[in-house]
Structures are given as structure tokens and as C-alpha cells.
Amino acid sequence: MSTVLIMGIQASGVSVAALLEREGHEIRLYDDKVKLERNWKDAGEAVFKGLDRIVISPAIPNTHPVVVGAKERGIPIVSELQLGFERLPCEKIVVTGTNGKTTTVDMLTRMFQTAGKKARAMGNIGYPVSQVVLDGDIPEIAVIEASNFQLEYSNLHVHTAALLNLSPDHMDRYPTYEDYVNAKKRVFLNQTANDFAVLNYDNRILRELGRCLPSAVKWISAKERKGDAYLKNNYFYYADEPLVAVRESKAKGEHNRFNIMTALTIGGLYGVKREQMAAFVREYRVLPHRVEYVCTVGGKRYYNDSKGTNPGATKSAVETVGGKIGLILGGSDKKEDFCELFDALFDRVARVAVTGGNAEKIYQSALKVGYSEIEICPDLKAAIDYLAAADDVDTVLLSPASASFDRYHGYEERGNVFKQLVYALKD
């Protein structure tokens, strides 16, 4: 058996360590932030002695000294996703993209379940694939969310893969946008003519990518009669016949229409019937923190889109809610270009309240493009209070276009704090 270093002892690291230990491998643990009884972080050069491979957490940057040292020594580096994927004996669908991954994975899983199939969501959605293997409760269909970080160190052969969309994100990690795109494209790396790739025909980069893939490409589109699922006359079409009116779906917004079309396309590949698809589209409700209506207070509607962690997601949220919008931006920075965001939102947003670690950067970006209705606020409560008092705002939207780690453990905590503060306005 081999000697394996597990870098990053969070959920996925714990799961893959237990899985490999059960198989008889010698496990070394490494974490810069967590106190461990057996932590190799202070071992220096000895960390590489006798080491056969490294399993890396998505949070570990490529510039980490151990990662650099391993590459110099030719030590293989793989993801937890790779090891779990190889050991999971069932049908596997992988979904990636800049935005909409979790929603689409949830849609697919619930569609399959309502169609009587044993399906389970896993991966970047919060439940490691290796933990499913450990548990032994193997589904008929695994619906896997994969991030660009996971795909960087994965060499998968995915029978059915969907790349939902692409826009700049995580530019703190990648030297160029092309590097980010290349990480996402790895989901199709080993596909053959017997596999399926689901792509958005309306996205130029994805359209060009689809023409180069060896797999069978299933297009979705809001503009063209392409593939199995498309939009026409405000209806979702499937197999060239109207399925259900867009207005009947509870998942609002253009972004969710593409998520639904992706789910319909993949569902059809796995035997979901038309009547089951139609019922699902009518009944599905999106997960929390994704353009989630909170309540109306003082004549203003409040929406929680804490999951909007990049400018592309924020643009979609603004288009979805409409009204005279007071927008809350800011958080931890990922080297995003906010000038483009303000160019796109100039006539759609009445006021902006900005808070968080990158508040000054966002503020200066707004002024640079001539947007002046913006206020820096010390915290989320102050941002809410500022917009609640604004006469020219009837809709308050938290869609930060930034990560949450400057003040919160994740977007869920940030969204929950926002909702608590909004509910407190009623008192």
C-alpha cells in the first residue's frame, strides 16, 4: 500500500483520509490552520520522504510550498473528488459552471427522486463523494457538483457532464481568465463519442467549446431551437413540443431558466418522463440564499442573494427582482472587475450600499464609471438601515458579488444574518 498526504483536514479531507485508511494506506495529515495530533506541517523536507501522492483540499493554493515541492519532485497530486469518483459504483453526472451549480444539482436530484429513482447530491454541494463511498449507501444516480478547484486536480471520465456558464470568478487564484476557463473545461477531459456534454448554446465560449468536443453535445438555448430543451414563446420546450409555461415555474429569473433546461435535458437522458418533468418544473422551489424573498417591511421588499458571490450572479439577481433596487455589495475580494458590474447596472439600481473587506475598491470602481449613488457602510446592519431609509428604493437586494470570508464562515451565515436583521425591522 502507498503513503498518502492529506492536505486540508476539513470535511472532504476527513472523509478521504478515513476511506484510504480503511483500504490500508498509510495516512499523513497536513493542515496550516487546524491543530492536529499528527500534523506534518512542521516536518519540513521530511514531509516528502516516502510519499507516494498527495490528496489536496480545494482551499489549498497552487503556490503553497508543499504543492510546489511535490510538483518539483514528481509526486502526484489528486483531489478528493477523483478518489471518491473512482470508487463510486453507480451512474455519475457532474455539473460545473460559474453560477447555478448547486441549484442545478438540487434540481436534478429532486427530479430523479420524484421520478422514482434513487438519486443523491454530493461533491461541492457539501457532502464529499468519498463519504458516500464510506457510508456504503450507494445511489442509482450520483449527481455531483464540481468546482474549478476540484477539477484542477481531477482526471475524470464523466459519462454525462454539464458546464452551465462561464464568467470571471476566483481571479485571486488564477493568473488569467483563460486559466479559470481551462479548469472548468477539465470536466470533459476524457469523454468519448459515447458520452454526453450539456452546454448553453447562447454562450459564445461554450458554443465554440462544444464544436471541439468528441462527445455528443446536448445544447440548451433561450434563443435558438437547439437540442432537447429550449425556450420559445415563453414556454419550456422539450423534444420540440411545449412542456410548461415559464410563468408556471416558481424558480424565477433567466439564470434559473437555463438551470431548468439543463435539468430537463439530463433528466431525459436518464428516463424521466415528460409528465414528470412538467410537474417538477411547476413545483420546484430554489434553495435558500439564491434570490430568496425574505419579507416586505415598510413597503420595501427584501431579497437574500448571499450566494451571489461574483458580478455575474449579481447581474442575474438584479434582473430577476426588478423594481427600484437598493443593492448591498461587498465582502472578501477575489480580484473581480467591478467597473463592468456598474456599467451593466447603471440604470437598473437606484442606490448601492457597500460593506466588507473590499468596500473601498467597489466604491472607487463605481465612481470611476460615473455611478455616484453609493455609500460605504461599516457593517451589514448599517447597509440595511441606509437603504431602508431611502425614499427612492422599493426593493432591497443583498447580492454581494463577493465572497463572505472577511466576516463570515460562508455565504449561508451571511444570508442568515441578513434575514435576521431584516426581520428585526418589523419590531
Q: Are residues 59 and 101 in the same domain?
A: no
Amino acid 34: pLDDT: 78
Residue 15 shares a structural domain with residue 102: no
Give the domain CATH number at 114. Answer: 3.40.1190.10
**Do 179 and 317 share a domain, yes or no?**
no
- Using alpha carbons only, give the angle 222, 228, 230 rounded to the nearest 5 degrees: 15
Same domain? 183 vs 328: no
Q: What is the pLDDT of residue 175?
A: 87
Binding-site residues for ATP, please? Answer: 97-103
Q: State the CATH number of the domain containing residue 67.
A: 3.40.50.720
Residues 71 and 133 both lie in one domain: no
Helix, coil or strand: residue 389: coil
Kindly state whether residues 22 and 51 are assigned to the same domain.
yes
Binding site feature residues: 97-103
Residues 67 and 105 grouped into a single domain: no
pTM recorded for the entire structure: 0.92
309 shares its domain with 248: no
Final residue belonging to a domain, choices 75, 102, 137: 75
* 203: containing domain: 82-283
Helical segments of 303-410, H only: 311-321, 338-345, 359-368, 380-388
The whole-number pLDDT of residue 37 equals 67
Q: What is the pLDDT of residue 171?
A: 63
DSSP string across 292-326: EEEEEETTEEEEE-TT--SHHHHHHHHHHH-SSEE
CA–CA gap between residue 3 and residue 51 (Å, rounded): 5
Cβ 377 vs Cβ 386: under 8 Å = yes
Residues listed for the chain: 427
Angle between helices 101-114 and 274-283 (to 10 degrees): 130
Shared-domain flag, residues 276 and 406: no
- SS3 string, 223-264, reads CCCCCCEEEECCEEEECCEEEEEHHHCCCCCHHHHHHHHHHH
Q: What is the structure's pLDDT at 366? A: 97
| Count of structural domains, the chain | 3
List Cα–Cα distances, 9 to 41, 133, 236, 339, in angstroms: 12, 18, 43, 37
- Phi/psi for 276 (5° steps) reads -70, -40
Do 65 and 194 share a structural domain? Answer: no
Same-domain pairing of 66 and 90: no
Helices (H), 136-203: 148-152, 177-185
Residue that is last in its domain, among 283, 315, 338: 283
List pLDDT tens digits, range 189-220.
Answer: 999 999 999 999 999 999 999 999 999 999 99
Domain boundary among 225, 249, 283: 283
**pLDDT attached to residue 300:** 97
pLDDT above 90 covers a percentage of the chain that reads: 89
First CA to last CA distance, the chain? 62
Do 262 and 382 belong to one domain? no
pLDDT in tens, the chain (427 residues): 899 999 998 889 999 999 999 999 999 999 988 777 678 887 788 999 999 999 999 989 999 999 999 999 999 999 999 999 999 999 999 999 999 999 999 999 999 999 999 999 999 998 999 999 999 999 999 999 999 999 999 999 999 999 999 987 776 788 898 999 999 999 999 999 999 999 999 999 999 999 999 999 999 999 988 888 999 999 999 999 999 999 999 999 999 999 999 999 999 999 999 999 999 999 999 999 999 999 999 999 999 999 999 999 999 999 999 999 999 999 999 988 999 999 999 889 999 999 999 999 999 999 999 999 999 999 999 999 999 999 999 999 999 999 999 999 999 999 999 999 999 999 7
